[in-house]
Amino acid sequence: MVWERGVVIKTTEEVEIMRQAGRINALALDTVRKMVRPGITTAALDAAAEDVIRSHQAVPTFKGYPGPYPYPATLTVSINDELVHGIPGKRELKDGDVVSVDCGTTFNGFIGDSAFSMGVGEISPEAQKLLDVTEKSLYEGIKQMRTGKRIGDISAAIQKHVEKYGYNVPREYSGHGVGRQMHEAPQVPNYGRSGRGLVLQPGMTLAIEPMVLMGTYRTRVLPDQWTVISADGALTAHHEHTIAVTEGDPYILTTL
Ligand code: MG
Ligand code: MG
């Protein structure tokens, strides 16, 4: 059912298919998480995630995704100052890196989209703090996902938590509706004002994804035309889940 401003409301059955897609996506990310260590290539992580997804009769959503050119991989793997959309390849993870892994899975026509950041080997206390704050800000946003609340309540909760620690959120990259398409209405910015925007109702499925920069909110895109980095070279992190709005508590679809 298409509702206000192009938002697609899912039936309970459709939400359960998204839950299955989300679980497979979580399995792929869990596999990757366990492989992260100094010396492993980002291509090896990508291959493992694709194996998990395909072995569950599902399809990597990102592969071939339209952009400056079709996205070439299953994962985006973004390291340190790379905020999002890093392309896997021969690069090896190093001790002390912060790596952000994003993955999408399409199963029976529906998509689960989620991401995590973690340290490689031993990381600095400052980097650990960034990871903790970013993850917590995701849950601050999710807490707002209740029937009758508004998109701006999610945005404001994320921004408030992030800025409390002196970090920033990008202005050009947002969370989003997700379902049969990876990017559906509405956009869910990581900054905004509470009480503004679309009212949440049961059957809305959103990817909430705080992206956090230790420095300013400015970003730029590398010559590969996909990888987004912090303009000042500061460390970044990214956490994401796909969540359904229900009559009650928010229903996180992209967990194991
Ligand atoms: Mg994602
Ligand atoms: Mg997303």
Q: 230-253 pLDDT, tens per residue?
A: 999 999 999 999 999 999 999 999
Q: Which residues pair with 179 in a beta bridge?
A: none
Q: Return the beta strands (E) in the chain as ranges.
A: 59-60, 75-79, 82-84, 98-107, 110-119, 175-177, 184-188, 205-208, 211-213, 219-221, 228-230, 236-238, 241-244, 251-252
Query: Which ligand places an atom closest to the C-alpha of 183?
Result: 2
Question: Which bound ligand lies closest to the C-alpha atom of 181?
Answer: 2
Compute, in angstroms, the gap from residue 251 CA to the centroid of ligand 1: 17
Residue whose entry in the numeric block shows the structure tokens 């026509």? 109
CA 239 to centroid of ligand 2, rounded, Å? 10
Average pLDDT value for residue range 42-71: 98
Gap from CA of 30 to ligand 2 centroid (Å): 17
The predicted pLDDT at position 5 comes to 76
Mean pLDDT (the chain) is: 97
Average pLDDT over residues 156-171: 98
User: Which domains does the chain possess?
Assistant: 4-251 (3.90.230.10)
182 alpha carbon to ligand 2 midpoint, in Å?
7
148 band by pLDDT with thresholds 50, 70 and 90: very high
Considering every ligand atom shown, identify the ligand nearest to the alpha carbon of residue 62 and give its number: 1
Q: What is the pLDDT of residue 139?
A: 98
Q: Using the structure block, give the residue that is written with the tokens 């910015």.
A: 189
- Report how far ligand 1's centroid is from the alpha carbon of 115 (Å): 6
| C-alpha 32 – ligand 1 centre gap (Å) | 15
Q: Which ligand is nearest to the CA of 190?
A: 2
pLDDT-based confidence at residue 1 (cuts at 50, 70, 90):
low
The number of CA neighbours under 13 Å toward the Cβ of 118 is 16
Contact 79, 127 (CB under 8 A): no
> Of the ligands numbered here, which is closest to the C-alpha atom of 178?
2
Q: Evaluate if residue 98 carries a pLDDT over 80.
A: yes
Which DSSP symbol is given to 122? S
At 189-201, the pLDDT tens digits run 999 999 999 999 9
Q: What is the mean pLDDT of residues 73-100?
A: 98
d(CA 163, CA 170): 12
Q: Counting ligands in written order, which one lies closest to the CA of residue 76?
A: 1
Calpha distance 5→27 (Å, rounded): 33
In angstroms, what is the span from residue 76 Cα to ligand 1's centroid? Answer: 8
Tokens standing for residue 74: 């299953």
Closest ligand to residue 187's CA: 2
Q: What is the pLDDT of residue 179?
A: 98
The residues whose Cβ lies within 5 A of ligand 1, an ion, are 102, 113, 115, 240
Q: 182 C-alpha to center of ligand 1: Å?
A: 9
pTM of the model: 0.97
Q: How far is the CA of 238 from the centre of ligand 1 (A)?
A: 9
Rounded to the nearest whole angstrom, what is the distance from the C-alpha of residue 113 to the centroid of ligand 2?
Answer: 6
Q: Which ligand is nearest to the CA of 115?
A: 1
Instruction: Using alpha carbons, list the distances in angstroms from residue 14 to 22, 78, 193, 204.
Output: 12, 31, 30, 11
Cβ-proximal residues to 149 (8 Å cutoff; 6+ apart), any chain: 199, 200
Q: What is the DSSP letter of 5?
A: G
| Distance spanning both ends of the chain, measured CA to CA | 28
